[in-house]
A and B are shown apart, each in its own frame.
Chain A
Amino acid sequence: MSEAALQVRGLSCSINGVAILRNISFSVAAGSYVSIVGPNGAGKTTLLKCLNRILNGTADEVQIEGKALADYAQAELAKVMGYVPQGGTDQVPFLAYEFVMMGRYPHLSPFTSPTATDHAAVLQALETAGAADLAGRQCATLSGGERQKILVAAALAQEAGIFLLDEPTTFLDPHHQDDVLRLLTRLNKDCGATIVSVTHDINAAVLSSDDVIALRDGQVVFQGPPEALTSGTVLADLFDQEFHFVEHPVNGKRLIVPLAVR
């Protein structure tokens, strides 16, 4: 837990002249599970995209596994960091298996076909993601929960040590939410993966993370253990709203409950 998987200092990013991220600094310990929370428009997705170089921000320092982000070739970066975007494989004209194989891209060379190693990695990824039975399906025919598993499997096939996930549970029913959260926890605990997950689900963040980062208006307003997030006025300040809290019946963690609106 000592070495930092991600070390970010003074990261800013503008899109079409609008400042989305403003001077953000934080670090993520290797092997930890970090949730990023915050109101809509706070810059959570933009932050993930900057770490991935989908967007280009400016920063004093961004280090991924101890090496400056700028020094990575894109394919090299994909070997240390996988990304699970928000939804959207509905337009993909490939079998689930083929889609997951695309996660092997950084390991493939231009003129060669996937090797036995690649096929083994894809099967392993599908297995781990609990999606082995989906391999032969067309991506376009998958349900939301199945799609999410395939997206995770594709990132797994990259064999990266860091996972960036953008709202992996947002459109899922409770059962599939649990599936995905359990999968991420298992990756974190059993495989030693570093998980950085953007989520709107405060309770999931509290229950699954080692550490929570809260963004608001493109700035880090909180980083600390989940217990600190749900004590004091952190959440109220973050969302401009009062919350009710209850104790989790099993582990005693403080969770939020919805307001009684009528």
Chain B
Amino acid sequence: MITESPNRALALPALIIAALASLVICPFVGMEPIPVTVLSDSGAVDGALRTVFWQIRVPRTCIGFLAGAGLAACGMAFQAMFRNALATPFTLGVAGGASLGAALYVRFGLSFALLGISGVSIFAFLGALGSISLVYGLTRLRHGFSTAALLLAGIAVNLFFSSLIMLIQYTSNYAHSFRIMRWLMGGLEIMGYERVFQLMPLVGISILVLYAVTHELNLMTVGEELAISRGVDVRRTKGILFIATSICVGGIVAVCGPIGFIGLMAPHICRLLVGGGHRRLLPATCLFGGLFLIICDTLARTAIAPAEIPVGVITSVLGGPFFVWLLVRTPAGGLNIALR
């Protein structure tokens, strides 16, 4: 049997430890540092801080981890499925679709909720599902719709949606316009655990589904025809992947807004850490995505306290340069997935 380099073997345990550590530490960090004694019932910490900790910081950290893990996992699935370094649900227009849904909701002054889920989330969810269906439809349109064409279509769809959003913003009043802009930046501002419990099954089940098809993802990375000849039912696998990722990404975007970059970047970094095999890559990517987002959120909460920076801004500001550095540093082809 081939033994791998010790670095690769250590990467996953290291990520697990880092993720656990940040899950535990981040809720204590913020505008108002909270002492560890908050965990005991002794009453050493006053009630308001206790509420901040349990009703704001902890749920916010949970939702950050869920969203980061889910976005990263779906990015990984799309990169494998389309054999392309740039293919993620977001680059293929999902963020645009979700944002358009949310903008429409705000612009027309709608105000409703369904089963305790806010209308803006429902509109964003529908927008995300709509754009993933569009992508899926395009891939099914005719035999051999190339990935390059698909990416171009995704760019076109994104541009089209963002023009519509600009139009909506332009014709909105000031308050609506600001609300739309703020939504577009993404954020994890939640109170209590309702949203966490809404999102957990969506993300959890989707990741489990992805875990069930890791052998297929490996083969699809190598090539669709080879995958078929090895016995993969590619049509079925793609169908499963599209359903799982739409539900996952749709749910996350509905709750947190379009938080960019994690889906693109996390899988690439983890490929460098643990290699291209998806059995290992999927958990690594989930851990890294979750970890990255809660760290970004902690920065968002503290960097210019008492004000907050939208977390979507932080992920891109931090992630962008880091990713470019990685691209430059890594020898050609080192990102281990085709750039075509």
Contact = CB atoms under 8 A, between A and B. Distances in A.
Contact of B143 (A16, A75, A94, A99): A16
Interface string A141-182: 000000000000010001000000000000000000000000
A119 B1 contact: yes
Contacts of B211: 111
B228 A110 contact: no
Interface in B199-224: 211-213, 215-216, 218-219, 221-223
A74 B228 contact: yes
Nearest to B333: A140
B2 A105 contact: no
Given A108-B215, A135-B2, A94 B230 contact: no
Contact of A105 (B225, B230, B333, B337): B230
A57 interface: no
Interface centre among B212, B230, B233 (most CB of A within 10 A): B230
A13 B224 CA distance: 19
A110 B215 contact: yes
Interface string A178-193: 0000000000000000
A119 B229 CA distance: 20
Contact of A102 (B142, B225, B230, B275): B230
Nearest to B234: A74
A15 B225 CA distance: 15
Contacts, number: 88
Contacts of A99: 222
B231 A85 contact: no
A89 B231 contact: no
A154 B231 CA distance: 13
A83 interface: yes
Interface string B225-264: 1101111110000000000000000000000000000000
Contacts of B1: 119, 123
B213 A52 contact: no
Contacts of B219: 102, 105
Contacts of A93: 221, 271, 275-276, 336-337
A125 interface: no
A94 B275 CA distance: 8
Interface residues of B, number: 33
Given A78-B230, A110-B212, A15 B143 contact: yes
Nearest to B214: A110
A88 B223 contact: yes
Contacts of A119: 1
A54 interface: yes
Interface string B114-128: 000000000000000
A88 B340 CA distance: 15
Interface string B315-340: 00000000000000000010011100
A65 B234 CA distance: 23
Interface in A78-99: 78-79, 82-83, 85, 88-89, 91-95, 97-99
A77 interface: yes
Q: Across the A-B interface, give the 6 residue pairs with the lowest CB-CB distance, nearest first.
A: A78-B231, A83-B229, A93-B276, A93-B336, A75-B231, A106-B231
Interface of A: 15-16, 49, 52-54, 73-79, 82-83, 85, 88-89, 91-95, 97-99, 102-103, 105-106, 108, 110-111, 113, 119, 123, 135-136, 140, 154, 158
A92 B222 contact: yes
Interface in B78-93: 83
Contacts of A105: 215-216, 219, 230-232
A136 B2 contact: yes
Contact of B230 (A76, A89, A103, A110): A103
A94 B222 contact: yes
B2 to A, nearest CB: 4
A79 to B, nearest CB: 7
B298 to A, nearest CB: 33
B276 A85 contact: no
A73 to B, nearest CB: 7
B279 interface: yes
A71 B256 CA distance: 47
Contacts of B228: 52-54, 74
Given A16-B143, A111-B211, A54 B231 contact: no
A88 to B, nearest CB: 7
B231 A91 contact: no
5 contacts: A49-B225, A91-B338, A93-B221, A94-B276, A95-B275
B277 interface: yes
Contacts of B277: 94, 98
A15 B142 CA distance: 10
